[in-house]
């Protein structure tokens, strides 16, 4: 078998079409994965709509997935054909995940424990890495808190954290890391129908995301008077971001998943950090290897729970409609995935 089906973005700002593509061969340090489930992310529709990061068309998109090791490169010893793995993909036609077979650098691949399905696993790689990097990696990739797997578990006991947009995939994983790090209370904003979901991830208080900045501050003060030194903004709407900055105490960190709109005031002693969650650049790989090395046990033990998942039917032909739903803000508290081998 030498050919597979891939989903091609035919041209800049163009449309998607499935078509054939040679199955790549893993080189030194790489593995070839049969993609059982590929996760959809907001960045995929943003690339289609705004044309960034991709230099050559036609291009394959898709930033994460889960599947079965099909072949390993000549020097790869840590994986064998048939193992179940999860991985972050990247913008390269050998390495993007909206296709049936993908090449991944072996050092940043995670093993999936038996209690986690491929669909659940495919919800993890982008946002679990984005949140872990920003919280636990030292500068320039993060704010450098001590990682739970490095002696930091529970070490922020009694310190409050605020996660803006807890129902996003980013937000759900930020809440879970905050819990593992010991932060308490963990306050988040969301549509209130997501309250039970977010409490199951570790949020102690779920506030309506429609509250005005002043009402949000007032509600938070009713919950805690301890200065808040960690605010994680997974939405970066201008109002919410400013509210997060204003609520943050001196000496604290505001982490942003997207662009910064807040104006930092001189002398405030507040750090604003914008994360880039791609773990493929060489300077992030050691951190990613440690993260994915420990993630298997966190998943097996239930310390990290994957996002609620929805499979979009049609295989790769479901990507376009799924991305449109993400763009239109029609997906709440769940992650969309597709099954590339069920492409119709
Ligand atoms: N920097 C990076 O490396 C990186 C990595 C991953 C993602 N991102 C970015 O981070 C953002 C989140 O990504 P994601 O994949 O986690 O998104 P997602 O899961 O698709 O987000 C959907 C959720 O957004 C929530 N939401 C929308 N507007 C909100 C608001 N004003 N306040 C609170 N919640 C709001 C909704 O919550 P309710 O259902 O509760 O209303 C909905 O459940 C995206 O912009 C994405 O591009 C950046």
Ligand 1 contacts CB of residue 322 (under 6 A): no
Q: Which residues of the chain have pLDDT under 50?
A: none
Domain ranges (residues) in the chain: 3-124+306-342, 127-274
Q: Is 41's C-beta closer than 6 angstroms to any atom of ligand 1?
A: yes
Domain 3-124+306-342 grouped into CATH 3.90.180.10: yes
Cα separation of 198 and 207, whole Å? 11
pLDDT score, position 265:
87
Output the pLDDT for position 60.
Answer: 98
- Residue 337: its pLDDT value, please? 98
Cβ–ligand 1 contact at 194 (below 6 Å): yes
Residue whose CA is closest, atom 34 of ligand 1? 165
Per-residue DSSP letter, 99: B
CA 78 to each of CA 74, 81, 83, 103: distance values in angstroms, whole numbers, following the listed order: 12, 11, 10, 15
Residue partners of 126: CB distance under 8 A and separation at least 6: 39, 41, 63, 64, 88, 169, 277
Count of Cβ atoms closer than 10 Å to residue 225 Cβ:
8
For residue 193, give the ligand 1 atom closest to its CA: 40
pLDDT of residue 51: 95
Q: How far is the CA of 161 from the centre of ligand 1 (A)?
A: 18
Instruction: Quote the pLDDT of residue 237.
Output: 84
Ligand 1 contacts CB of residue 204 (under 6 A): no
Check residue 234 and give its pLDDT: 97
Instruction: Report the distance separating Cα 186 and Cα 202, nearest Å.
Output: 7
CA of 135 to the centre of ligand 1 (A): 17
At the fourth CATH level, the homologous superfamily of domain 127-274 is NAD(P)-binding Rossmann-like Domain (3.40.50.720)
Q: What is the pLDDT of residue 1?
A: 75
CA 236–ligand 1 middle distance (angstroms): 9
- Closest residue by Cα to residue 88 from 38, 54, 15: 38
* Nearest protein CA to atom 42 of ligand 1, as residue: 332
Residue 184's nearest CA partner among 149, 230, 139 is 230
User: What separation in Å is there between the alpha carbon of 168 and the centre of ligand 1?
Assistant: 4
- Condensed to tens digits (0 to 9), the pLDDT of residues 36-92 reads 999 999 999 999 999 999 999 999 999 999 999 999 999 999 999 999 999 999 999
pLDDT tens per residue, range 202-246: 999 999 999 999 999 999 999 999 999 999 999 978 888 999 999
Q: Is 234 in the pocket of ligand 1 (CB under 6 A)?
A: yes
Decide: 148 in ligand 1 pocket, CB within 6 A.
Answer: no
Indicate if ligand 1 lies below 6 Å from the C-beta of 188: no
Cis before 185 (ω within 30): yes
Give the pairing of strands 101-105 and 335-338.
Answer: unpaired
Q: Nearest to residue 240, comparing CAs of 297, 171, 294?
A: 171
Q: Which residue's structure tokens are 């992030």?
A: 284
**Token output for 148:** 């739970």
pLDDT at 152: 98
Q: What is the pLDDT of residue 54?
A: 94
Mutating to test ligand 1, I would choose from 88, 135, 162, 170 the residue with most ligand atoms within 8 A of its C-beta, which is 170
Is any atom of ligand 1 closer than 6 Å to the C-beta of 331?
Answer: yes
The answer to whether 229 and 248 are in contact (CB under 8 A) is yes
Does the CB atom of residue 47 touch ligand 1 within 6 A? no
Ligand 1 centre to CA of 323 (Å) is 13
Distance CA 34, CA 240 (A): 40
Nearest-angstrom CA–CA distance, 295 and 50: 33
Mean pLDDT (the chain) is 97
- Residue 104 CA to chain centroid, in angstroms? 17
Could you list the beta-strand ranges (E) of the chain: 3-9, 16-22, 30-39, 59-60, 64-72, 84-88, 101-105, 109-111, 161-164, 186-190, 205-208, 228-233, 248-256, 271-274, 309-311, 335-338
Task: Return the pLDDT at 263.
Answer: 85
Q: Quote the Cα angle for 124-127-129, to 5°.
A: 90
pTM equals 0.98
**Cross-strand pairs, 35:** 67
- Residue pair 335/323 in contact by the 8 Å Cβ criterion: no
Minimum-distance ligand 1 atom for the alpha carbon of 41: 15
Q: Is 174 in the pocket of ligand 1 (CB under 6 A)?
A: no
223 lines ligand 1 (CB under 6 A): no
Spell out the residues 6+ positions from residue 339 whose beta carbon is closer than 8 angstroms to its own.
36, 37, 38, 311, 315
- Does residue 203 contact residue 187 with C-beta atoms inside 8 Å? yes
Is 260 near ligand 1, meaning CB less than 6 Å away? no
């Amino acid at each position: 078998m030498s050919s597979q089906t891939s989903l091609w973005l035919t041209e800049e700002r163009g449309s998607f079409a499935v078509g054939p593509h040679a199955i790549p061969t893993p080189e030194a340090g790489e593995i070839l994965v049969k993609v059982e489930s590929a996760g959809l992310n907001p960045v995929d529709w943003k690339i289609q709509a705004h044309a960034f990061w991709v230099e050559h068309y036609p291009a394959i998109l898709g930033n994460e997935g889960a599947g079965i090791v099909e072949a390993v490169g000549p020097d790869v010893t840590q994986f064998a054909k048939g193992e179940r793995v999860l991985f972050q993909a990247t913008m390269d036609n050998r390495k993007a995940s909206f296709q049936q077979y993908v090449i991944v650098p072996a050092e940043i691949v995670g093993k999936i424990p038996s209690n986690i399905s491929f669909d659940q696993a495919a919800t993890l790689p982008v946002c679990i890495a984005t949140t872990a990097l920003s919280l636990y990696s030292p500068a320039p990739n993060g704010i450098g808190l001590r990682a739970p797997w490095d002696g930091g578990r529970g070490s922020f006991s009694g310190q409050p954290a605020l996660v803006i947009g807890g129902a996003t995939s980013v937000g759900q994983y930020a809440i879970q890391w905050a819990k593992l790090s010991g932060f308490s209370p963990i306050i988040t904003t969301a549509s209130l129908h997501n309250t039970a979901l977010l409490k199951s991830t570790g949020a102690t208080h779920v506030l309506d995301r429609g509250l005005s900045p002043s009402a949000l501050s007032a509600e938070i003060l009713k919950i805690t008077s301890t200065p808040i030194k960690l605010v994680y903004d997974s939405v970066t709407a201008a109002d919410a971001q400013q509210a997060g900055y204003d609520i943050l105490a001196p000496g604290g960190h505001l982490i942003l998943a997207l662009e910064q709109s807040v104006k930092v005031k001189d002398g405030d002693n507040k750090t604003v950090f914008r994360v880039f969650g791609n773990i493929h650049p060489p300077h992030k790989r050691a951190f990613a290897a440690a993260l994915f090395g420990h993630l298997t046990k966190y998943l097996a033990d239930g310390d990290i729970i994957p996002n609620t998942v929805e499979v979009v039917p049609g295989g790769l032909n479901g990507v376009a409609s799924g991305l449109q739903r993400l763009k239109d803000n029609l997906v709440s508290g769940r992650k969309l995935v597709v099954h590339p081998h069920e492409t119709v």
